Structure 1
Amino acid sequence: MSPAEVLGLTATFFYALASLLLFRQFRSQPTPSTALLLAPAAVATAVHAVSLYFLMVTDQGLLLGVLPVASCMAAVGAGLVIACSLYRPFQWIGALVFPFAALIIPASLWIHTGYRVHPLEHGIGLHVLLSILAYSVLVISACQAIMLLIQHRQLKDGHIRGVMRVFPPIQVMESMLFDTIWLGEGLLTVAILFGFLYVDDLFAQHLVHKTVLTLVSWVIFAVLLGGRHLRGWRGLTAIRFTLAGFAVLLVAFFGSQLVLEVVLDRI
């Protein structure tokens, strides 16, 4: 096996272990401290990052196919969960991020679509990095919104049950949601600016839909943050805007990328 495969499978094992420890805590079974709980995830993320280097970095540029990029986003998301869990109860988001990472790694290693190597020149590399960071942070926001939606529905029913009983209070969950949205929107803003500055064919035929949808997503998140600041938006309004903005962003990259790589076999 190649170094990327060996390291990727090792990361998959540790992500699966981290997921198991979290799910044991959801079932109120004895679990270690938060630090020990996140230790397997930290190992997985570090090994995952090295695996991605061997998988994506070539002498000609980067492999920016849909599955390698999704794997990269999973690694960044896992790293964010671990870092944020050091000062906020963010480890619960790992219940969505860690299993996804464990599943996407084998897919990125062994499923090959029509992607090709992209040479990185001038500021394009920074644009790609910022885009991946922004997408990853907003994925965390979407995960947070989904969990918040479940909490709202259970509160409406008058009964908190299942894994929601070990989640932070709804006010804390909302605060963490907007923290991630502010960070994600800031990164997305800078990524868009670098795109306009350094990508010469930003509005070429195979990028125009991606650009327009990304801008639509940026507007949705901007409206949400403006509504939060000016009108105090929260609860279901914040959840709906977050999921809508993320859905548009998801289609902007992954939808268009799948069409280009799988259907049209060109990128």
Structure 2
Amino acid sequence: MILTSASPVALLLGATAAIAYAIPAAFASRLPEPAAKAALWLAWALHGALLGLGMLQPSPRFGFAPALSVTAWLVLTVYAVERQLFPQLRARWALAALGALAVLLALAFPGQPLHISASGWLPLHLALGIAAYGLFAAAVVHAALMTRAEKRLRLAEDPHSGLPLLTLERLTFRFVTAGFVLLSATLVAGVLFSEALYGRAWRWDHKAVFSLLSWFTFAALLLGRRRFGWRGRSAVRVLYAGAVLLLLAYVGSRFVLEVVFGRVV
């Protein structure tokens, strides 16, 4: 662990955000709605301030845990917006737990300083990749809610206890489509401008292989839905497979390098 690399302000912000996230996660069934909502909003704001503080450092750091932290914050941002449009959307406790875990991981493993001397476009390239992560993560959350809605229908439970199944399915594939567009842009930029961005030619490594495998998986999912009407559990399984491959592409490879091998990259 590299907790000593975090500033006192970052440690305070991170610890407070994690506690604020933990409140609705641990006491979801016992907290009044206004209190749970306030705690989640506070955690989200503190989390965002922590991310902003990291980007304002003289040498911003990045790695597998900061990538997960930004992804979690983006998913929570999407959730906050969607709750205004669909008040019956219910995933607060799970997302709060995800936020707390992501904040603590980023404090424990802040990554390595970014080297952007090769190109000022590198941060934009990373931002595209992380935005794709966030959109696919939001799609996975909606797919999980879709699975839960299907289960409710099979068990003949109250159909008004959450978003309608068709609405969830439509939202899921909108996030998949948007994520696929950003992932495609990220991969094209990486292949065509790798030397300018990273100071070296593009090469076949674990990140490249898993990224391309995830791209083909998501492409197959979108094509299968458009041409063959894929939906339900079959489509969700393909989505989960693509998400796992994408997670292994950057987060997985950086975790192995940073934590398992302890390499500075």
Range into which the TM-score falls when normalised by the shorter chain:
0.7 to 0.9
What pairs with 1:215-234 in structure 2 (closer than 5 Å)? 215-234=212-231
Aligned partner of 2:202 in structure 1 is 203
Aligned partner of 1:51 in structure 2 is 50
CA drift of 1:237 comes to 1.9
Give the structure-1-normalised TM-score.
Answer: 0.82
1:175 corresponds, among 145, 166, 170, to: 170
**Matching of residue 119 in structure 1 with residue 115 in structure 2:** yes
Q: Is 126-135 or 79-88 further displaced after alignment?
A: 79-88
Deviations along 1:60-112, one digit per CA (max 9) or x if unpaired, are 3x311211221121111111111222223574233322211112212321x23
CA drift of 1:57 comes to 4.6
Aligned AA (1:230): R
Aligned partner of 2:33 in structure 1 is 31
Contact 1:124 1:199 (8 Å CA) reproduced: no
Contact 2:194 2:202 (8 Å CA) reproduced: no
**Matching of residue 96 in structure 1 with residue 94 in structure 2:** yes
Contact 1:56 1:64 (8 Å CA) reproduced: no
Aligned partner of 1:5 in structure 2 is 11
Identity of aligned residues (%): 28
**Which whole-Å CA distance do the structure 2 matches of 1:91 and 1:74 have between them?**
17
Q: Is 62-71 or 7-16 further displaced after alignment?
A: 7-16
**Matching of residue 262 in structure 1 with residue 259 in structure 2:** yes
**Which whole-Å CA distance do the structure 2 matches of 1:151 and 1:244 have between them?**
21
Contact 1:93 1:140 (8 Å CA) reproduced: no
What pairs with 1:91-170 in structure 2 (closer than 5 Å)? 91-109=89-107, 111-112=108-109, 115-120=111-116, 121-156=119-154, 158-160=155-157, 166-170=161-165
Contact 1:151 1:160 (8 Å CA) reproduced: no
CA drift of 1:244 comes to 0.9
Contact 2:22 2:100 (8 Å CA) reproduced: yes
Say if 1:202 and 1:175 are closer, same or farther in 2 by CA, change over 3 A. farther
Say if 1:89 and 1:192 are closer, same or farther in 2 by CA, change over 3 A. farther
**Unpaired segments ≥5 residues, structure 1:** none
**Unpaired segments ≥5 residues, structure 2:** 1-6
Deviations along 1:172-230, one digit per CA (max 9) or x if unpaired, are 2211211211121122122222223433236346xx21112111111211221122222
**Which whole-Å CA distance do the structure 2 matches of 1:143 and 1:9 have between them?**
25
SS at match of 1:255: helix
SS at match of 2:84: coil
Aligned partner of 1:253 in structure 2 is 250
What pairs with 1:230-245 in structure 2 (closer than 5 Å)? 230-245=227-242
Say if 1:173 and 1:118 are closer, same or farther in 2 by CA, change over 3 A. same
Contact 1:77 1:140 (8 Å CA) reproduced: yes
Give the structure-2-normalised TM-score.
Answer: 0.83
Aligned AA (1:119): H
